[in-house]
Amino acid sequence: MTTALPTGPATGGAPTDRSSPDRPSPDRPSPDRPREADLLDVVVVGGGPAGLAAAVALARSLRRVTVVDAGEPRNAPAAGAHNLLGREGVPPRLLLADGRREAEGYGAVVLDDRVVAARRAADDRPEAPRFVVDLASGRTLRARRVLLATGLVDELPDVPGVAEHWGGAVLHCPYCHGWEVRGRRVAVLATSARAVHVALLLRQLTPDVTLLTHTAPDLDADAWEALAARDVAVVDGPVERLRSESGVLRAVVLAGGREVAVDAVAVAPRFVARGGLYTALGGTLVEHPMGAPVVPADPTGRTPVPGVWAAGNVDDLAAMVAVAAGAGLLAGAGLNGDLVTEDVAAAVAARRGTAVPAR
């Protein structure tokens, strides 16, 4: 859900003391790179894996970067984040805390705040974008670029008990949490035809898989054949609720009162990308292959809106933690390259304007 971030000396990360006097501070412009005192290079909106990975890359390039994080990580209900090389099973909030320390160790600033509005500054130009970002605290930031790492919201099926067990006995990704339910009794709560694919993925992990048709469309002949061939049971009818005992999921209750004993339930949330800031800045969301609007971005994170970049679930609904952090790293590198291009153009223009006439 919501790539692995190195976390200090124990994992071969960056040294903890980065205050070498020979190294220019990202908060103190070097003589050949003067800056406006209050102008940041990049404001990163969102302090998840994508945003923090971008901040590390930018801060390591001595960019002035501020991350604004509202403290709502998508995978917070989960006990651990998986498929992270070297950090397998790390609690999500611990991963983010370690990522914050790394970014701040290189000079990035992380604010516990919420971005409520963003707009182009009065001095904005196509060749030199400028933005004004307003925070819920009343603070205002000015920046040359904006990176949207705002993620997405999982809208769960409206079935009592689903939200209660979300991130535990209720899961949505066989790769993120399938290992944890291996060999158990797993039901798939179908809300679309994609549930057949999820059921077959889970069948790789356990012999006891039941597909609950719930609100999904009728299965076609190929789906019936595939499910039968893999011994996946199919139960018709809408699901009324999930039944628990002392907080432990025990069964799925159908509308007629019939119960199906389960240890876990797989659901398909509706993914809603947090793209409001992108549209406020003049962008248009596009349809993702998984069927929901996202912020369009190229492989480096650049969007069609000049100066605006995106990384993570806000432009890729399928990105797990490792993929989101990798996208953040690429976006950070892309942003730095874009800023270098602007800096060079400004330096060349200044040099030409003050050039000493040839003798």
- Tell me, what's the pLDDT at 250? 97
Mean pLDDT on 209-235: 96
pLDDT digits (tens, 9 = 90+) for 10-37: 333 333 444 443 444 444 444 334 456 7
- Tell me, what's the pLDDT at 347? 93
Residue 180 maps to a domain: yes
Q: Domain check: are 100 and 176 in the same one? A: no
pLDDT digits (tens, 9 = 90+) for 47-60: 999 999 999 999 99
- Tell me, what's the pLDDT at 36? 65
Q: Domain check: are 21 and 100 in the same one? A: yes
Residue 253 to residue 160: CA distance in whole angstroms: 10
- Tell me, what's the pLDDT at 76? 86
The amino acid at residue 346 is: A
Residue 269 to residue 282: CA distance in whole angstroms: 28
- Tell me, what's the pLDDT at 74? 87
- Tell me, what's the pLDDT at 9? 30
Q: Domain check: are 59 and 206 in the same one? A: no
Q: Would the pLDDT of 161 be above 50?
A: yes
- Tell me, what's the pLDDT at 354? 60
Strand partners, 43: 66, 146
More confident residue, 336 or 77: 336
Residue 117 to residue 304: CA distance in whole angstroms: 19
Q: Domain check: are 186 and 41 in the same one? A: no
Residue 3 maps to a domain: no
Residue 194 maps to a domain: yes
Mean pLDDT on 302-318: 96
Mean pLDDT on 315-344: 96
Residue 359 maps to a domain: no
pLDDT grade for 359, boundaries at 50, 70 and 90:
very low
Q: Domain check: are 191 and 220 in the same one? A: yes
Q: Would the pLDDT of 282 be above 90?
A: yes
- Tell me, what's the pLDDT at 127? 86
Residue 110 maps to a domain: yes
Q: Domain check: are 241 and 289 in the same one? A: no
The mean of the pLDDT values for the chain is: 89
Q: Domain check: are 148 and 283 in the same one? A: yes
User: Which of 242, 266, 290 delimits the end of a domain?
Assistant: 266
SS3 162: helix
Domain extent at residue 222 = 157-266
Residue 98 maps to a domain: yes
Q: Which long-range contacts (CB under 8 A, 24 or more apart) does 98-101 make?
A: 98/5, 98/7, 98/8, 99/5, 99/7, 99/47, 99/49, 99/52, 99/53, 99/56, 100/47, 100/52, 101/7, 101/8
Q: Would the pLDDT of 244 be above 50?
A: yes
Q: What is the CATH number of the domain that holds 97?
A: 3.50.50.60
Mean pLDDT on 89-104: 95
Q: Domain check: are 279 and 262 in the same one? A: no
Number of domains in the chain: 2
- Tell me, what's the pLDDT at 320? 94
- Tell me, what's the pLDDT at 224? 96
Residue 326 maps to a domain: yes
- Tell me, what's the pLDDT at 6? 33
Q: Domain check: are 65 and 50 in the same one? A: yes
User: Which of 233, 249, 266 delimits the end of a domain?
Assistant: 266
Q: Domain check: are 276 and 148 in the same one? A: yes
Q: Domain check: are 331 and 221 in the same one? A: no
Count of positions (residues) in the chain: 359
Q: Would the pLDDT of 222 be above 50?
A: yes
Q: Would the pLDDT of 197 be above 70?
A: yes
Residue 52 maps to a domain: yes
User: Which of 266, 301, 320 delimits the end of a domain?
Assistant: 266
Q: Domain check: are 176 and 278 in the same one? A: no
pLDDT grade for 353, boundaries at 50, 70 and 90:
confident
